[in-house]
Each structure stands twice: as C-alpha cells, then as structure tokens.
Structure 1
C-alpha cells in the first residue's frame, strides 16, 4: 500500500498503518457472520413462539419454546438432537434433518460472505476466516443454551456439523463474489487439469443427470401423494384437532418435502430407502415390517409385498437421467474422438453418483432407537446405483450423439453446379447486365432541367461496332434485341 503526498509523490504505507486499517474490516466481517447466525436463530424463534402462543395446551413456558428454537436451529445444520421425553425412558436421537431448513443458514452465511467481499478492504481468505469465526461463536453459544431444553444437541455432532455448513456456505459466498479466489488456492498443475474442457463437460453432465433424478423423484412423490390422497388426508386430520397443531404438521411436512424427493430418486434407482431396522422399500418389493410413525408423507408409501408393473415403471427415472447426461457430455467440435466423448460421459456418471450419494446422506437419519434407528436411503448404495445407471446409459448415448453430429453432410464433396443451358438466354452470363443497362442508357433524366442559357447538346460519340455485341454473337439468345422504354410502353 502507498500514500500520495501533496506534490504527487507516493510513499509506502507503514505495515502498522495497513494493519490498523484492516482491523475494522475484519471486525465487521466477524460481526456479519454473527448477524447471519442471529438472523437464523431469530427467524426460528419467532416461528416457535407463534406456535407456542397459539397452542391451547402449551407444555412449557417461553423459555422452553426458546430452547426448542435453538435446538431446531442446530438441527438445520445437521446436528443430532437427543430426546429424553420418551415412553421407554431411554434417550432417543433425532437425526433426520429437514433439508428445507438447511437452506436458511446456508443462504444467510453465503450472503454475509459475499457482502463482506463487496465492501472491500480484505482479501477473500481473510473474509472467509472472519465470517466463519463470527458464525461459529454464535453457534457455540446456541449449543450451550440448547443443552438446558427438551431437545439438547449432541456435542460431538454439533462440533463438526456446524463448522461443515459454515465453511461450505462461506466458501460459496466468497467464490460468488471473486470467481478466481477458489481456483487460486489450488496448485498450478491441478488448476491446469481442471481447466480442460473434458472436466467442465463432465461436471455439467453429472449435474444435469442429478437434476433429472431429483425431478423424477419429485414426479414419483407427487404421483404417490395423489394415488394415496385419502390416506394422506386422514392421517393429517387425525394427528391433531386444533388449527395451530395442524399448521405445525403442515410446516414440518413442507420442510421434509426435499427429503422425500431424494427418497423418491433412490427408490427409482433401485436400492430404495430404509423404513426402520429390517424394512426396505424398493420398486421390486417392500420387505420387512416398516416401523412407521403416523405422518402424511409416510402414508403415501407403497403397500407391503411384491411390486407391480406400476412400481417397476419407476426405474425409468435413471434411464432418463442417463439420456440427459449423455446428451450434455457431447462437445460441439467435430475433431473430438469417440473415446474422448465416452470418457467425458463416464466422468459425468461418476459426478452424478457422487452428488446423489451426498444428497442421500443428508436426507437420511435416525428417529429413535431400535426399529426407528434407520430411516432414508443408504448413501453408498444410492451413489453407486446412480453412477452405474448413468455411466451405463450415458456412454452409448454420448457416442451415438457424437456420431450423429459428425456425420458427413450429403453433397459436401460434389462438383459445383454447371452453367445454365444455352437456351436459357436471360441467365446467360453478361446478357442480364446488358439488358438492364440498355434502358438506363437510352432514357433521359428523371427530372426536367432547370431554366438557363441554352447550350447546344454535344454530339454523341460514335459507338464502336464491337461495343454492343450483335444478337447473333450472344450465345443462346439468337434473335434477341434490347428493349427500350418506348418498347416497354407499347
């Protein structure tokens, strides 16, 4: 950093002065991360307090409601909660995180990091560290506060879930403001490898395949809800009879819809999802005895026993995902070989499998002990099935699309068109220009001349005989003559 004097000369800024200037910016970044955490906590606290006030039979006072809000905020980060108020008296873990709640802290941290970078004054690494530090300070306080409520957080689970979400969201925020920041942290060789078009296409193809799987899961979820509409409605009405309780059940169901979409994608892939210890739902059959609590989304599950043609049709979802991934894995260039295209499609399938494995891990979790210890898809089974399906379908599709795009064009190597025949006089080279120029040369001016002294017109220059070819000299137009304006009028 430099300083400019009155004469325009620059002087280097002392290191201590630069440090003093960066200190307020770093404090502002820490405050921004703390405010992001506070906004998330405040939003859930307002929601829980509204439900507590509207409840006709509250179980605790305002302090208990605030403790529940802190527990829900920690659950939104994937932290496992512990429920002590059980029928058996044994503490039961609650680790099924509603994915819609995860969007709240992620968006708040990302926004805080992006605004801190836009304000300037600090590099991206310093902004990332300061925002993450401020957020984790509030997270540690919330974990200690929730320990005295009905849903305390598991300290070990909170110790790594909170930093994981904060780090990922802060990196996304800084990267969105400075796109060159994250690649600059990688070694030069790794950065050059990642800049190849093959890997960019593989990422695009894998993301397209994962989105297609999620769209198919949403389609399966909607079709199942419509098919079991009466059972879903009865379950929703039987859970509680007051409007505040039904509103809370509706909010919980909406927060779990993304989880159900991932479950539907895993169902279409084949491995399915667990419905408790020893029970699994797949397109081929629903095995075991599901230990299901009464909930509207769970009422839309297929019945126990072997599957049918209708459930087997769900396996068309991964086929569609493979087709989409194969289409996006093809480059426009004609010089790309078939082996390169097949390798790109295979890498896209691996990317799709990795994304689905992460989503399956985030969408599953326990709801208790014993029979309720397993709920949701198994991440490695879902990710492996997605990779196998996508690679198996995308590679031949990509090679076929590449062959279609690089096919030879009909007539590309043919001779150019021949000259017109002799009898087509108007299209003979030179005749068209002569016939257009003759009326223009023989006609007078379009506007009358202005009055003035009479000037004798100059004698026309003699035209050589060879200037205008004779009709018999023009090929293919024997007997043709030039039309004047008078001839056209008649």
Structure 2
C-alpha cells in the first residue's frame, strides 16, 4: 500500500477519534440546551462547553473567570478571581489512546508505521488547535499551546503502543525508520537487551496489575455504597437531562478514580482539596465536590488498610517468577544482571504509575479545590520501591530454582555420553539397555585417551 494512502487513512481515523470524543461531550450539552433551556439559550455556548470538556479530558488547562453573580452563588474563596481547572477527565484520553492503538497496528501491518503515526499526530494537533481557538471565550479560556500539544501526545502514545504490540506479534516492520531502530538494537549487548525487555515486561505488568485490582476495588465500593450514591443523585434534583450529563461526567472521571484507588493501595493516597487526605491509614475530608460517585469514599481509614501495601510486592514477585520461567536459560546470567532486572522492573512500574497519577491530578476549582488527586512523586516512589522489592526477590528465587533444575538435570554419576547427548540436544542420553562402550574405544567423533589409572578422558 502506498505511503500516501496510509497517511490519508491514518488522518481519517484520527479525525474520527476527535469527532467521536467531541460528540460524546456534545450530546449531553445539546440535551441540556433543548430540554432544560427550551432552545432559548445561545447554542454556541454549549458547543464551546463541549469543546472545553473534550480538551480538559486530554489534560488541557481551562482558565475560568466567573461573573460576580455566579461567583457569589458558588460561595467559595477565590471564586471571583480567575482560577484554573486542570483535572483531566481521562475517559476522553482513553478513547483517543484506543483509536491511536488501532492506527498504530494498521500502519505497522502495512509496513509504514512512521508515516501513519506522523499523519495521525499532526491531524489530531491541527483539529485540537482549531477547536480550542473556536471555543475561546472570556468565561472559559483553554490554554492554546496545551491544546496543540497534549491531545496529539495522547494520540502519539496510543500509536506507539499499537506499533509495539504489532511488532511483538508479527515482527518488525519494513520501513526505513524501524529498520534503523532494529539495527541499533542489534548493536547492543544481548544481555542488556534481554534484561531491559524483562524489566519492561515485569514493571508494566505489575503496574497494570495494580490498576486492575484498583478497578475491582472501585467497582466493589460502588456496589456497596450505591444507596448513598443514589441519595446524592436525588439530593441534586438535576432532572433527567441533568442526571444524564452528571453520569457522563462521572464516566469520563472514572479512570481518574481508578488511578486514585491505585494510589490509595500504594500508600500515599490522594487529596480532594487542600489539607485533605484519603489513604489506608487515615481519611481526612472536608467539603468535597458534589458528584454522587464520591459517595463511595471511605468514611475513615481502613482497619487493615496496611495489608494493601503488600499487593505491589506480590505482583512484582509473581511477574519476575513468571517471566523467568519462560526463559530458563537466564539462570546462568551474572547475579548483578538479575539484580539489575529486579530494580529496573521497579523503576518501570514507578514511571508508569507516576505518570498516570500526574495525569489524574490537578485543580478542580477555586480555593482549596486547587489540589485534587494523588502526589505523582510519592506514588512513583512507593510503586518503584514495592515492585522492585518483590521483583528482586522473585528474580533471585527463580534464578535459584533454575540453577537447581540445571544441576538436577545432569547428576554426578551420569554416564559421560549423557553429557554429550544433552549438550547436543539429542535427549537425555542413551537407553539404559544400550551397553557402555569399553574403555579405550570410540563410538563417536571424539578422541578418548587412557590415563595411567585406566580412566578415559575426552578431548
């Protein structure tokens, strides 16, 4: 397939990704305009609001300036001054990332991943910039340079992930850029490449394991506290159209909540305003945003919350053992290489979870709501330390087990030809019924000599 065709297809899919995400934000806005305001309010304001929500979902900060009447109704310190909303509604970013993965896989299958990636990223940046410029208003102003960069970064990350998945399944692509990358990789020492791959597998796997357990925990909390959540919906009195808009907003915020739960399990926890903390050991809350989903927050520290701190350690240990079992030949590598793999796994897990924590945090409003979400550095440090401890223990445990297996595979009293057959990959040796050759004779290509005591040796 020609490169021009690949570029056009990637641009088309990137455009669809942007329009689908914008449409999800636009539907509840149009319902509010039609049902709640009776088509009387200016429709362009609702379009700008949908664009702001979509941009906010990709990490673009929104500078808000409320009028005097609205600021008085909010009743929070600093509401009458310009303030920033920066909590990314990561549901939109997840959607863009998923489209990017699809583009990356398709471009790699065609043999031109770089062309597809560049086309998708440039298209996303151009559309996001255009929408940001069209949504600018005195009441809410998106940061233009962030709108030009951050959605494209999310799309590029998805394309890169799709390319890596496709390469892992079917091998390297054939274009010039991937050929250069492959040649540079082949120039590195084999031990370093293998160790880096193992560290990435264990680290990313452990981080995703923490996120998966956090998702299960959030689901359980919603199921347990659903009466409180329903009561908050009823207390808001938003109606059907307003309730639908709030529900879609909560669905967009759900990835953030899952990451916050992961930060809770790692120990640092998260904040819902300045001076607040929600962690396994303690929960200190003040007034929180009026989202029904937050009705599932724990009222106090979990009685056995410290037990959750062992989860990333177990995930690191299990990941290192599973990866080592798939590569038993690495039991003979130097001890420092095993240690480096374990520590590198912790670093990778810390980077992944730290980046996710940083993406999920930000300002949710004026005053004390300027601090919402986990501390990225604390989350990264806790994840790196716990996963590294488990991965180092698991790597050395698998190493010891592999060494014992290699030793047991060749017993000390085994016939000499068993070593040769095993080394040549011809099975465990001769059958037990096959007679051993007499000393001084040779039934193979090797030369056998007799020493002064009549014992045979091979050269």
* Deviation (angstroms), 1:57: 6.5
User: What do the CA deviations read for 1:3-57 (whole angstroms, capped 9, x no partner)?
Assistant: xxxxxxxxxxxxxxxxxx9777756655554454344434433453245434366
Distance change in 2, residues 1:361/1:30 (3 Å): same
Other-structure match for 1:95? 86
Q: Looking at both structures, which has the greater relative contact order when contacts are Cα pairs under 8 Å and sequence separation is at least 6? A: 2
Other-structure match for 2:423? none
Distance change in 2, residues 1:34/1:187 (3 Å): same
Other-structure match for 2:53? 72
2:199 and 2:348 in contact (8 A); partners too: yes
User: What do the CA deviations read for 1:293-331 (whole angstroms, capped 9, x no partner)?
Assistant: 122232222235xx3533333323223323223324523
Distance change in 2, residues 1:29/1:313 (3 Å): closer
Distance change in 2, residues 1:170/1:312 (3 Å): closer
Distance change in 2, residues 1:281/1:175 (3 Å): closer
> What is the count of residue pairs matched by the alignment?
392
Matched, 1:53 2:53: no
Distance change in 2, residues 1:162/1:59 (3 Å): farther
Please give the residue correspondences for 1:202-221 in structure 2 after superposition, counting only pairs within 5 Å: 202-221=199-218
**Structure 1 or 2: more helix by fraction:** 2
Please give the residue correspondences for 1:299-314 in structure 2 after superposition, counting only pairs within 5 Å: 299-303=295-299, 307-314=301-308
Other-structure match for 2:345? 348
2:63 and 2:140 in contact (8 A); partners too: yes
RMSD of equivalent CA atoms: 3.3
Alpha-carbon distance in structure 2 between the residues aligned to 1:74 and 1:345: 38
Alpha-carbon distance in structure 2 between the residues aligned to 1:124 and 1:314: 41
2:313 and 2:388 in contact (8 A); partners too: no
* Deviation (angstroms), 1:159: 3.6
Alpha-carbon distance in structure 2 between the residues aligned to 1:257 and 1:194: 43
Other-structure match for 1:131? 120
Other-structure match for 1:105? 96
Q: Please, which of 256, 261, 280 is the counterpart of residue 259 of structure 1?
A: 256
Q: Which runs of 5+ in 2 are unaligned?
A: 72-78, 416-432, 434-459
* Deviation (angstroms), 1:185: 4.9
Matched, 1:298 2:294: yes
Q: Please, which of 243, 249, 257 is the counterpart of residue 246 of structure 1?
A: 243
1:365 and 1:375 in contact (8 A); partners too: yes
User: What do the CA deviations read for 1:192-212 (whole angstroms, capped 9, x no partner)?
Assistant: 438622111111101111122
* Deviation (angstroms), 1:150: 5.4
Matched, 1:167 2:122: no
Q: Which runs of 5+ in 1 are unaligned?
A: 1-20, 417-428, 430-490
Distance change in 2, residues 1:210/1:310 (3 Å): same
* Deviation (angstroms), 1:186: 3.9
1:38 and 1:138 in contact (8 A); partners too: no
Q: What is the TM-score normalised by the length of structure 1?
A: 0.70
Matched, 1:369 2:366: yes
Alpha-carbon distance in structure 1 between the residues aligned to 2:11 and 2:213: 41
